[in-house]
Amino acid sequence: MNEKIFESTKLAQPVVTGDSWQYLCYVNTWDAFLAQSIHEWCKVFRDGTKVRFGKPSGSYAMLGRVRGFPAYCTNAGIVYSAFEINGLPNPNERMNPNWTIPLGLRPTSLSGRFIDDVNQVYLHQPNANRIDIYSLVTGVKVGEIVHNAGERFISLAWVQQGQVAGMCKTSGKVCLMDYLSSEPQVLATGHIAPFRVAAYDAAFKLFVTIGTDHKVRVYNAELLPTGLSAPVFTPATVSGINANKVKVRLTGQGGEPLVNWWVNWELEGVGGGIIGSLDKYGNLTDADGYASNLYIGPDDGSTGQCKIKASVVLP
> Half-sphere exposure of 90 toward its Cβ, with a 13 Å CA cutoff?
14
pLDDT at 301: 66
Domain boundaries in the chain?
A: 4-220, 227-312
Whole-number percent of the chain with pLDDT over 90? 75
Quick check: 233 and 282 in contact, CB under 8 A? no
Euclidean distance between CA atoms 218 and 204, whole angstroms: 11
pLDDT at 208: 98
pLDDT band at 275 (very low <50, low <70, confident <90, very high): confident
Mean pLDDT of 5-16: 96
The pTM (predicted TM-score) of the whole model is 0.79
- Reply yes or no on whether the pLDDT at 241 is more than 80: no
pLDDT band at 141 (very low <50, low <70, confident <90, very high): very high
- Kindly report, residue by residue over 287-307, the tens digit of the pLDDT: 789 999 999 888 766 777 889
Identify the CATH number of the domain defined by range 4-220. 2.120.10.30
Ramachandran region, residue 225 (left: φ > 0; alpha: ψ -120 to 50; beta: rest): beta
pLDDT band at 125 (very low <50, low <70, confident <90, very high): very high
- Kindly report, residue by residue over 165-216, the tens digit of the pLDDT: 999 999 999 999 999 999 999 988 889 999 999 999 999 999 999 999 999 9
**Mean pLDDT in the chain?**
92
pLDDT at 239: 74
Helices (H) then strands (E): counts for the chain: 0, 28
- Reply yes or no on whether the pLDDT at 58 is more than 90: no
- Reply yes or no on whether the pLDDT at 143 is more than 70: yes
Return the CATH architecture of domain 227-312: Sandwich (2.60)
